[in-house]
Amino acid sequence: MAAPNAITPRQLLRLIGTPQAPILFDVRTDGDFDDDPSLIPGAFRMPYQNVDGIRNHTGDHSCVVICQKGKKLSQGVVSWLQAEGVVAEFLEGGMFAWRAMPGAMVVPVPALPAVAKGNTVWVTRHRPKIDRIACPWLIRRFVDRRARFLFVAPDEIQGVAEHFGATPFDVEGTDWSHRGDNCTFDTMLDDFKLRSEPLDRMATIIRAADTNRHDLAPEAAGLLALSVGLSRQYRDDQQQLQAGLHIYDALYRWARDGSSETHDWPAGHGR
């Protein structure tokens, strides 16, 4: 029987990518981490000795603590956190069990951009649509939940990147941009090793909407319509981003659980 303060890899996988995902702390030793320099999507490194830092970072959220095998380090941290009123669980079987689970994704740490002031910072063109909302959603849900996004005039992107330690994205001539026929969302899926059936399904729709190739996916026309409407509704790019995240949360759940569902007016009912 699983411990009452444990979560299985399969249970955690169902939460990752959703707004309900707990905060993930990877407390593996440096030696274990050096042998496998990757993270469960959304996790970040924290020394197991820094329980106060973990507690302060968690705030009112729940958290999952991950070590190599789900034994002394993660269970010790979780017990300590619970004694202080934090809702915490350890990953049953640890990183070994996660790695052994079919469909499990890991983000290679070398792919992550440099951290500025405790989180990654990204910059792109203002008035974001489609790719420039989809990419922040992907980063917040699967890479860095505290990532900061700056939206500026196109001519100022490089200067802002240099002065604020930001990584440009969805900008021509940068690493995080379109490659061939694919859009920046595809690039991030490839570089962060986040390819999965639901994210690939989303990527096709985003690519079709972002590059005006609606023949790739009939849903693209709807995504474009919502994106344009969103941009007309908000003057503030940050408010627009926050509203747009909900659209991509819903699109992800459709892509993961509901893509086969259809809807029609019930037979025998009048209008």
- Give the tens place of pLDDT for each residue, 127-163: 999 999 999 999 999 999 999 999 999 999 999 999 9
Q: Residue 2 — pLDDT band, cuts 50, 70, 90?
A: low
- Measured from the Cβ of residue 88, the count of other Cβ atoms closer than 10 Å reads 27
234 has a pLDDT exceeding 50:
yes
What phi, psi does 123 have (nearest 5°)?
-135, 140
When pLDDT is averaged across residues 217-232 and rounded to a whole number, the result is 97
**Token pair for 38:** 């990757």
- CA–CA separation, 224 vs 212, rounded Å? 9
What phi, psi does 2 have (nearest 5°)?
-65, 150
Return the axis-axis angle of helices 197-210 and 237-253, rounded to nearest 10°: 130
Query: What confidence tens digit (pLDDT) does each residue in 85-130 have?
Result: 999 999 999 999 999 999 899 999 999 998 877 899 999 999 999 9
The percentage of the chain sitting over the pLDDT mark of 70, rounded to a whole number, equals 97
- CA–CA separation, 241 vs 236, rounded Å? 9
Query: What confidence tens digit (pLDDT) does each residue in 170-183 have?
Result: 999 999 999 999 99
Q: What is the pLDDT of residue 155?
A: 97
265 has a pLDDT exceeding 90:
no
Q: Residue 24 — pLDDT band, cuts 50, 70, 90?
A: very high
Mean pLDDT across the chain: 95
Considering Cα of 96, then 57, then 81, then 6, what sign does the dihedral take? Answer: negative
Q: Give which of 120, 107, 98, 252 is closest to 191, Cα–Cα.
A: 107
The CA distances from residue 143 to 44, 138, 155, in Å, are 9, 7, 27
**Token pair for 137:** 């959603």
Q: What is the pLDDT of residue 271?
A: 47
- CA–CA separation, 78 vs 136, rounded Å? 30
In DSSP notation, 27-88 reads: ---HHHHHHS-EE-TT-EE--TT-HHHHHHHHTTS-EEEE-SSSSHHHHHHHHHHHHTT--E
59 has a pLDDT exceeding 60:
yes
Q: Residue 258 — pLDDT band, cuts 50, 70, 90?
A: very high
Contacts 24+ apart (CB under 8 A), 52-60: 54/25, 54/27, 54/81, 55/81, 55/84, 55/86, 57/23, 57/25, 58/23, 58/86, 58/88
Please name the helix (run of DSSP H) or strand (run of DSSP E) that holds residue 13, with its range, or none: helix 9-15
Choice between 31 and 264, residue whose per-residue pLDDT is larger: 31
**Token pair for 257:** 């659980």
- pTM attached to this predicted model: 0.95
Go through the domains of the chain in sequence order and give each one's CATH number: 6-108 (3.40.250.10), 113-258 (no CATH)
What's the CA angle centered on 92, arms 1 and 142, to 5 degrees? 140
3-state secondary structure at position 167: strand
**Token pair for 33:** 């981490």
Return the axis-axis angle of helices 197-210 and 184-191, rounded to nearest 10°: 150
3-state secondary structure at position 92: coil
- Measured from the Cβ of residue 176, the count of other Cβ atoms closer than 10 Å reads 19
Amino acid at 234: Y
